[in-house]
Amino acid sequence: MNRETCKISIVTACFNSAKTIQSTINSILNQSVKPFEYIVVDGASSDETVTILTQNEQWFKDAGIQFKWISEKDKGIYDAWNKALKLIEGDWVAYLGSDDIYLDTALDNYTQRIYEFPEADFITAKAQLISEGKVVREFGEPFKWEIFKREMKILHAGGFLNMKYIEQWGNFDINYKITGDYELLLRKGKSLSVVFINEILVHMGAYGVSSTHITSAFKEARVARVTNKARNAVLAYFDYYLVLFKIKIKKLLVDE
């Protein structure tokens, strides 16, 4: 496999995303390295999202990118992602939120690492969380199992998952509403192979599900750790309360 023959797929799940999804689409069309296909799974939006998807069909055709989209009710983001897995033809898949964008060099960087590390399970980078045009937070760091089993510190948004991993470890568990991506990566345990790109390749909207439901996300993550035997129940509870404590301390320091 070389960079020219590497088949990469990008998936976006969306619902009533008319205000942001065009920027997401533009960031894909503007890449110097184009994906093999782009798939959008819309949850039966009632705004102009579907109209925007229809209007972009020709742009993807002109760019030589297979563009597939469906619009129907779903049971949440991981149900939508599982629907996309039935449509994917690529060897690697990335999930990019409908209010996230790739920076200009993103796919160039990712495909280079895929070429260098074809047997990796996941390739990730760094992102900036953006709110009202300002950077709120920088996220993403190198993978270390001792940290990962206690807290999701690597960036999933926009990163590439080897489809061989899905074939071996299964689809997303739709019982999770916020941290199903973390749970999926926990299944392999400490032998999970992650490549980290020490560059900011994604800008994320600050109002995604995991950003706006912090406590619920931590609760789900605790369940995921115990279920996959990454931590026992006692230690998982300790991790949960420790993270909440850290957040409260940070908030107090900011408010002072």
* pLDDT of res. 242: 78
- pLDDT one-digit tens code per residue, 208-254: 544 447 788 889 999 999 999 999 898 888 887 777 776 667 666 55
pLDDT-flagged residues of the chain (< 70): 1-5, 207-212, 246-248, 250-256
State how far the Cα of 154 lies from the Cα of 242, in Å rounded to an integer. Answer: 18
Residues 49 and 120: beta-carbon distance below 8 Å: no
Its pTM stands at: 0.91
Structure tokens at 70: 């469906």
| pLDDT of amino acid 4 | 62
Q: Extract the runs of DSSP E, i.e. beta strands, from 106-243.
A: 122-131, 134-139, 160-162, 194-205
Q: Give exposure, 99-122, as e/b (b: 16+ Cβ within 10 Å).
A: bbbbbeebbebbbbbbeeeeebbb
CA angle (48 as vertex; 45, 54 as ends), nearest 5: 95
pLDDT at 256: 54
Cβ neighbors of 109 (< 8 A, separation 6 or more) are 125, 197, 199, 201
Give the pLDDT of residue 146: 96
The reported pLDDT for the residue numbered 237 is 82
Whether 6 and 118 have beta carbons less than 8 Å apart is answered as no
Give the contacts of 98 (CB within 8 A, at least 6 positions apart). 12, 13, 14, 15, 17, 20, 21, 24
Q: Copy the structure tokens of residue 136.
A: 């709120």
Indicate the domain borders of the chain: 8-206
CATH T-level fold of 8-206? Spore Coat Polysaccharide Biosynthesis Protein SpsA; Chain A (3.90.550)
pLDDT at residue number 162 = 98
- pLDDT, position 251: 61
